[in-house]
Amino acid sequence: AFTPRVFSGIQPSGGLTLGNYLGALKRFADTQNKGIESIYCMVDLHAITVWQDPAKLAHATRELCAGFIASGIDPEKSILFNQSQVPEHAQLAWIFNCVARMGWMKRMTQWKDKAGKNQENASLGLFAYPALMAADILLYHATHVPVGEDQKQHLELTRDIAIKFNNDFGVEFFPVTEPVIEGAATRVMSLRDGSKKMSKSDPSDMSRINLTDDADAIATKIRKAKTDPEALPSEVDGLEGRPEARNLVNIYAALSDQTVEQVLADVGGKQFSEFKPMLSELAVTKMTPISTEMARLMQHQDEIDAILRRGSERAREIASPILAKTYEIVGM
């Protein structure tokens, strides 16, 4: 009974990677281009659950917005905005803090990973992060959320919160949102270690391709990417137990809009010495126009600010009546 509507967010915590691009941004652009109403958020309230230098946060938010636009998200078609500018996110998050249970939060692997051994010293916000994420999504009655695999558990928690709210108050008010985790690159791995996800927080810059990398940097990182000595298989089964090979083939498939099967049908039998230059050329062709466009947009920060302001106004038009109705349901 809910109209299809897509919501997703990315943290302005500095630097976007090929993982963010293939797992999120590129898929957002594809979704928008299918004509589905889409709302994309720079989630600065999430970013500050771990320390962010105030002098860098505003810059990171603008750069992220530039990354969205350079990746093909059109601010006229989609809503692009900054989470802290729509106070309804924090307001609904409080309600959800009172719906979600401590035990649910304690099971979140991201909480366990990010808080590490010193949970007593982690911020309360880091613990409550998934309730804010549920608020982000449900504030728009979003039915679908495109994300990478790392966000699957948080999406399940969003569904649990919607179901519990609806049950507690005897309403069918919030949709039970579907995660959309599809395509060849929902989990892009480190170029140095096939067991770790590619991440901006990895200390080794060689482990990732940044959206701001130039052609030389991209080529060097792919040339030095860890591989194994075998030739590429011609069928998917042959990637079993070869995480680095699988990762490079996944990246090739996602960048060229092919399935892994299609790619292997072409490159099966080739050595990495032959495949890596192909991947490198493809990555440079697809990624350098994005970094060039990001750099150009960053020369016009007032335009970026105007886009985010306008996006926040449009977002509030949807969010505000949904929050008002939520308060009414709760009896406030």
Handedness of CA 12, 14, 15, 19 (dihedral sign): negative
Whether 113 and 148 have beta carbons less than 8 Å apart is answered as no
- Of Na ion, ligand ADP, none, which one sits near residue 197, judging by CB under 5 to 8 A according to partner kind? ligand ADP
Distance CA 296, CA 318 (A): 31
Give catalytic status of residue 164 as yes or no: no
Give catalytic status of residue 114 as yes or no: yes
- Of ligand ADP, Na ion, none, which one sits near residue 184, judging by CB under 5 to 8 A according to partner kind? none
Distance CA 22, CA 225 (A): 18
Is 150 one of the annotated binding-site residues? yes
Query: Among the options 26, 34, 112, 114, which is catalytic?
Result: 114
- Of Na ion, ligand ADP, none, which one sits near residue 200, judging by CB under 5 to 8 A according to partner kind? ligand ADP
* Cα radius of gyration (the chain): 20
To Na ion, the closest distance from the beta carbon of 17 in angstroms equals: 10
Chain position whose Cβ is nearest to Na ion: 150
Place of tokens 């480190």: 190
Task: Mark residues 147-186: x for contact with Na ion by CB under 5 A, - for none.
Answer: ---x------------------------------------
- Single out the residue of 32, 143, 151, 207 in contact with ligand ADP (rule: CB under 6 A): 151
Query: In terms of CB distance, is 209 or 219 closer to Na ion?
Result: 209
Whether 47 and 83 have beta carbons less than 8 Å apart is answered as no
Distance CA 59, CA 65 (A): 10
Binding of ligand ADP at residue 24 (CB under 6 A)?
yes
Distance CA 164, CA 148 (A): 25
Using a 10 angstrom Cβ sphere, with 0-12 exposed, 13-18 middle and 19 or more buried, the burial of residue 25 is buried
To ligand ADP, the closest distance from the beta carbon of 241 in angstroms equals: 20
Distance CA 12, CA 66 (A): 11
Query: In terms of CB distance, is 67 or 75 closer to Na ion?
Result: 67
Helix (H, G, I), strand (E, B) or coil at 9: strand
Place of tokens 């652009």: 29
Query: In terms of CB distance, is 95 or 249 closer to ligand ADP?
Result: 249
Give catalytic status of residue 26 as yes or no: no
Strand 144-146 and strand 79-82: the pairing is unpaired
To ligand ADP, the closest distance from the beta carbon of 189 in angstroms equals: 7
Task: Mark residues 152-191: x for contact with ligand ADP by CB under 6 A, - for none.
Answer: ----------------------------------xxx---
Is 20 one of the annotated binding-site residues? yes
Longest dimension (CA), the chain: 66
Distance CA 108, CA 110 (A): 5
Binding of ligand ADP at residue 114 (CB under 6 A)?
no
User: How many residues belong to the site for ligand ADP (CB under 6 A)?
Assistant: 18
Helix 124-138, helix 152-169: angle, nearest 10: 70
To Na ion, the closest distance from the beta carbon of 13 in angstroms equals: 9
- Region of 13-21, 86-94, 114-122, 242-250 interacting with ligand ADP (CB under 6 A): 13-21
To ligand ADP, the closest distance from the beta carbon of 173 in angstroms equals: 26
How many angstroms separate the Cα of 265 from the Cα of each of 229, 259, 261, 312?
20, 10, 6, 46
Binding site for Na ion (CB under 5 A): 150
Binding site for ligand ADP (CB under 6 A): 10-11, 13, 19-20, 23-24, 147-148, 150-151, 186-188, 197-200
Give the catalytic positions in this structure: 114, 197, 200
